[in-house]
Amino acid sequence: MSSVGKGVVVASIGRMLRSRNFSVNAVKIDPYINVDAGTMNPYAHGEVFVTYDGGETDLDLGHYERFLDVELSRKNNITSGQVYLSVIMKERQGEYLGQTVQLIPHVTDEIKRRILETAEGFDVTIVEIGGTVGDYEQLPFLEAARQLRLELGDGVVFVHVAWVPLLKTTREFKTKPLQHSVAELRRYGIQPDAIVVRSERPIDANTARKIALFTNVPQHAIYNSYNVDTIYKVPLLLERQGMGEFLVRRLRLEARAPDYREWEEFVAKLTSPRHVVKVGMCGKYVELPDAYLSIIEALRHAGAALSARPELVWINSVDVERRPDRLHELDVEAVIVLPGFGKRGVEGMIECARYAREGEIPFLGICFGMQLAVVEFARNVVGLKEASTTEVDPDTPHPVVHLAPEQRGIDALGGTMILGNRRIELVPGTLAASLYGSSVAVERHRHRYEVNLEYLPKLVEAGLLVSGWREDVRRVEIIELPGHPFFIATQFHPEFRSRPTRPHPLFLGLIRAALARRLEGKVGARSAASPLQAA
Ligand code: GLN
């Protein structure tokens, strides 16, 4: 079933093979009819992970990128929507030469074609088939997988990830659901070669024996991914159980000793922090932290490098609108105003940016968070009280953030934003340039709106500094406030490029600034009463 941790298991399998220096690729299959995740509500789906080439993909690709330390393409996320769309387009163009176009072989062939295309050039490609065994929409993918095994033989290994619940009343593991899902897989012609049991606690030998007996999988190929304090331990956990060696043997790869030195060092730092930093996370989807998954992971990576554990304080921007005074009670040491869309909660996000600016609290604004920091600055520093973004108020007299020119006239929602990598020039001598230690950066984007250049002279005159410019067209990418201990905001999404052993400079800068401020004893500094509070 979904949310059981398949993505982390897949990423961990990838890490085990990467640690043996094999080149590894990973593909996520989402059986839903949406062409991509871009049009889905974060509550339904969690974060939309953006690839370098502008794919709006499932958040599991983020796990893959972080565990494998690779950059994946939009092609690494296959959905039913994409498959059916291309089969139907081909049919309309007459490419099937008069045949009756059917689920088998035409749809399954298209699935196999897409998998094999992404697998090209890699030692191993891991394919995660999302959903639950037995779902109608998943069937063509299982059928394609069965055929691949038939065609590639030993080149294919099936790993089944299944939840084994621990019954609280009798304190026993129930293997029945797993037995049934394996029976169901076998009905489709797939016999798992290995099983990864997901469970709350380690399973006992008896349970493993029972699983082996009922599933026809030898006991040595039954692995257990029980709950651990960090997902980054899962590769080490499965490795210790011999899964890495099993996969290498089963895939007939060369036997190599794995090297986990960097990974283990990272996990050790992550799990034994010397400091805790309270980071206020302000947005409107805070009930579902998965909506900001890559930002959370980026904070953990940066924290580990600085021996600090980020303690996330979720700030619901809608609540801030009702009770802005509460912000002061949270005593956060850093503030992130999060990405987002639409009107709801916007005033609360603006208030958070103001709180960080006035309270001299280290601040990072990401995408919408940057746009709203500019709105806040225009209102409260420049004095344009009615400034806004046209996304929220199309009739604002001061559209300091507006629709990017190339976005005008686009009416389809799917895949039409400014997406993926853009090169950014960093202005010498700025905080951004010093954090990156470079004069250029390449970062991923997902937006339609941007800073209105007509207002730039006024903003700059009042003290706002543009420290990053898009290289292809002149657009504001990074802003900062000289004089503030750490105030930086970006039009792009830095979180997508953070890696466990290579934390992102902007997140590092934020945590470092929060720690420095604590040493100076400034924690708890309060800002002036807010206008919302007066209202
Ligand atoms: N809604 C804003 C835009 O489209 C910001 C998007 C985001 O935060 N990813 O420009």
What whole-number distance in Å separates Cα of residue 68 and Cα of residue 327? 38
**Does ligand 1 come within 6 angstroms of the Cβ of 45?**
no
Residue 95 CA, ligand 1 centroid: distance in Å: 39
pLDDT tens per residue, range 272-289: 999 999 999 999 999 898
Phi, psi of 363, rounded to the nearest 5 degrees: -135, 135
Q: 534 pLDDT exceeds 50?
A: no
What whole-number distance in Å separates Cα of residue 361 and Cα of residue 513? 9
**Does ligand 1 come within 6 angstroms of the Cβ of 340?**
yes
51-55, 148-152, 515-519: range with lowest mean pLDDT: 515-519
**Contact by Cβ (8 Å): 355, 532:** no
Q: 530 pLDDT exceeds 80?
A: no
Q: 460 pLDDT exceeds 90?
A: yes
Confirm whether 301 is a catalytic residue: no
Which mutation among 419, 449, 450 tests ligand 1's pocket best, with the greatest number of atoms within 8 A of CB? 449
Supply the pLDDT for residue 531: 45
Supply the pLDDT for residue 529: 44
Q: State whether residue 291 is helix, strand or coil.
A: helix
Confirm whether 282 is a catalytic residue: no
Average pLDDT over residues 504-511: 98
**Does ligand 1 come within 6 angstroms of the Cβ of 339?**
yes
Total residue count of the chain as it appears in this document: 535
Please give the number of the atom of ligand 1 that sits closest to the Cα of 401: 10
Which mutation among 39, 349, 366, 368 tests ligand 1's pocket best, with the greatest number of atoms within 8 A of CB? 368
**Does ligand 1 come within 6 angstroms of the Cβ of 518?**
no
Supply the pLDDT for residue 362: 98
Residue 73, CA distances (Å) to 56, 62, 103, 195 in order: 10, 11, 26, 28
Average pLDDT over residues 222-250: 98
Q: State whether residue 419 is helix, strand or coil.
A: strand
CA 16 to chain centre: 21
Supply the pLDDT for residue 520: 85
pLDDT bin (cut points 50, 70, 90) of residue 393 is very high
Average pLDDT over residues 284-310: 96
Which is catalytic among the residues 56, 367, 391, 477?
A: 367
pLDDT bin (cut points 50, 70, 90) of residue 511 is very high
pLDDT tens per residue, range 339-354: 999 999 999 999 999 9
The 3-class SS string of 121-181 reads CCCEEEEEECCCCCCHHHHHHHHHHHHHHHHHHHHCCCEEEEECCEECCCCEECCHHHHHH
**Does ligand 1 come within 6 angstroms of the Cβ of 178?**
no
- Residue 135 tokens read as 């779902």
Please give the number of the atom of ligand 1 that sits closest to the Cα of 339: 8
What whole-number distance in Å separates Cα of residue 370 and Cα of residue 476? 10
Summary count for the chain: helices (H), strands (E): 20, 22
User: Long-range CB contacts (< 8 A, 24+ apart) of 69-74?
Assistant: 69/18, 69/499, 69/501, 69/502, 70/24, 70/25, 72/25, 72/26, 73/118, 74/36
Residue 146 CA, ligand 1 centroid: distance in Å: 41
Residue nearest to atom 1 of ligand 1 (CA): 341
Of 32, 31, 29, nearest to 10 (Cα)? Answer: 29
**Does ligand 1 come within 6 angstroms of the Cβ of 512?**
no
Please give the number of the atom of ligand 1 that sits closest to the Cα of 369: 8
Which is catalytic among the residues 63, 160, 493, 504?
A: 493
What whole-number distance in Å separates Cα of residue 348 and Cα of residue 335? 13
**Contact by Cβ (8 Å): 57, 48:** yes
What's the mean pLDDT when you consider all of the chain?
95
pLDDT tens per residue, range 137-193: 999 999 999 999 999 999 999 999 999 999 988 889 999 999 999 999 999 999 999
Q: Where are the alpha helices (DSSP H) in 337-465?
A: 346-358, 368-377, 431-436, 456-461
Average pLDDT over residues 463-487: 97
What whole-number distance in Å separates Cα of residue 450 and Cα of residue 404? 6
Residue 338, CA distances (Å) to 102, 197, 369 in order: 45, 35, 5
